[in-house]
Structure 1
Amino acid sequence: EMVNEVLRVSGTTHKTASSYHPQTNGLTERFHRTLADMIAVYVQPDHKNWDTLLPFLTFAYNTAVQRTTCYSPFYLVYGRTPTTFLDVSFFSSHGNSCQSSSEEYISRLAQSRHQARINTEARQHKRKITYDESHRVVSFQPGDEVLLLTPIHTPGLWDKFQPRFIGPYNVLEPTSPVNYRVTPLVAPTDRRYRSTEIVHVCRMKPFTRRSPSL
């Protein structure tokens, strides 16, 4: 209740993502990958100074022109390039000749954001075409039995030798064209697994029962 009240007061819309499907939150996951790659370049061999790098790496990321939007995140938020110490030194000796009214500033920022949205939609459309060329539509019906792709990490054991699928689960209902509500056929003893959950179709595969004659 407290969380819901905080969300209401702050005007935040709470949206959940299906488990073990990072594509649901692709923008955030892609940034985490980029940031991790940047940290890996500069971190010390003992990996203990990674937190001291964050201010510099996030500044570099926020001021770099993105391939999708064709603008830097900083520019789309503030409508200008950031002011560095070098800029301050230059303006103090030469004077700031930049004269712009608030109306011009707001208009320029609105145009930039509009163009960034157009650029993003064009890139998304291109990626969708590429994805659809190799995508195979899979659907399930209520009552179908399935297995769920679930990473299992056990200390002392190799992850590659662990079972990749758990189950079987019973499909209860579709919650969207690509998500289903499922429940285990046997009550789980592991508290990590819930009695019902919503999963993405890419984690599901049909469960075939073994013939009694085998």
Structure 2
Amino acid sequence: MIKKNLKEWEECLPHVEFAYNRAVHSTTELCPFEVVYGFKPITPLDLLSLPIHERVNMEASKRADFVKKIHVKTKELIEKKGKSNAARKNKKRKEMLFKPGDMVWVHFRKDRFPKLRKSKLKPRGAGPYKVLAKINDNAYSIDLPEDEFGVSNSFNVADLTPYDGEDLGASRSTPFEGGGDMMRTSLPHYYLRHCQLKMNLLYEEETSIVRGGEEQLDVKMDVELDKELDMKISHGRAREEREACARGEDEVQAGPAPGQTGRHAGVPGP
């Protein structure tokens, strides 16, 4: 519908909205029009408001009660669907709770730390940092230097990992400070393992590319050398033939030496 009316797409929105409200949803098993009005209109004219009369219409009262029952049923279906989705999503989820004072690693999400996640080889986390307070079971307040990172110190539990190290003095408050090889001590072991595997893969890819290029270069050089050798051999043979021909012509022009016959040329006479 929109593709055929790209310049007048806003005029198609009422028709799209009406069609959407007439479609049955999997959660409520009803269309939005049935939930709100208690029936499915065929055309927009069916939604026109009726004139208000002072007399009470019994049919209207029954219709109102019917719509209320639909609202109650819809609420129950939505809650049931929400519980079903939560059970499916939380099936493999491990409950992780922290206490104020615990040390945790903080994961850098790309949408929240775009500058720190420009490169794939950069660290994806920092820490350990202290847990300041518990906001709820899914969020905690972390002792994160806001002036350095420029973000809020509230983090979801999915971005926090318990710190299981013993030597806190060997780690730094942030992995971006200088100081030799201290970067390795400021990251969890799985981050270091991830970076190591990625570096190994990159090295293997570059090595295979270089080896493949060297092999192609060796083959090319061998072909060129063979061509050059063939040319030298052919040129050498031609030169030898020319020299042999030249020697033969010289001997014919000079004739046999004194005391020699043509038949026994080169053999001393008696």
TM-score range, shorter chain: 0.5 to 0.7
SS in 1 for 2:134: strand
Q: Hey, what does 1:68 align to over in structure 2? A: 27
Higher relative contact order (CA 8 A, sep 6+): 1
Pick aligned residue for 1:101 from 59, 74, 83: 59
Q: Using a 3 Å threshold, how does the CA distance of structure 1 residues 139 and 57 change in structure 2: closer, same or farther?
A: farther
The answer for the alignment partner of 1:82 in structure 2 is 41
Q: Determine helix, strand or coil for the equivalent of 1:173.
A: strand
State whether residues 62 and 74 of structure 1, in contact with CA within 8 Å, keep that contact through their aligned partners in structure 2.
yes
Task: Name the structure 2 match of 1:176.
Answer: 136
Could you say what secondary structure the match of 1:174 adopts?
strand
Find 2:89's aligned residue among 110, 124, 131.
131
Identity %: 21
* Post-superposition offset of 1:116: 1.3
Task: Classify 1:145/1:133 alpha carbon distance in 2 versus 1 (closer, same or farther; 3 Å).
Answer: closer
The alpha carbon displacement at 1:136 in A equals 1.1
What is the identity, as a one-letter code, of the residue corresponding to 2:109?
Answer: T
1:5-154 correspondence runs (5 A): 54-84=13-43, 101-143=59-101, 144-151=103-110, 152-153=113-114
Letter matched to residue 68 of structure 1: T
Distance 1:177 1:74 in 2: 38
Structure with greater strand percent: 1
Q: Which has the larger radius of gyration?
A: 2
* Stretch moving more, 166-175 or 106-115: 166-175
1:202 CA displacement:
1.4
Contact preservation (8 Å) 2:108, 2:117: no
Q: State the number of aligned residues.
A: 155
Q: Structure 2: how far apart are the matches of 1:165 and 1:50? A: 43
Letter in 2 for 1:204: L
Gaps of at least 5 residues in structure 2 are 48-56, 172-181, 186-270
Distance 1:160 1:187, change over 3 A: closer
Question: Letter of the aligned partner of 1:180 in structure 2?
Answer: Y
- Name the amino acid aligned to 1:70: E
| Residue type of the alignment partner of 2:39 | R
Query: Could you tell me how far 1:87 is from its partner in structure 2?
Result: 6.5
Gaps of 5+ in 1: 1-41, 89-98
Q: Could you tell me whether the CA contact under 8 Å between 2:22 and 2:40 is conserved in 1? A: yes
* Cα RMSD, aligned residues only: 3.9
Q: Tell me if structure 2 keeps the 8 A contact 1:65–1:71.
A: yes
1:203 corresponds to which of 146, 159, 163: 159
Q: Is the 8 A contact 1:76 1:113 kept in 2?
A: yes
Structure 2: how far apart are the matches of 1:100 and 1:173?
58
Give the residue type in structure 1 aligned to 2:34: Y
SS at match of 1:108: helix
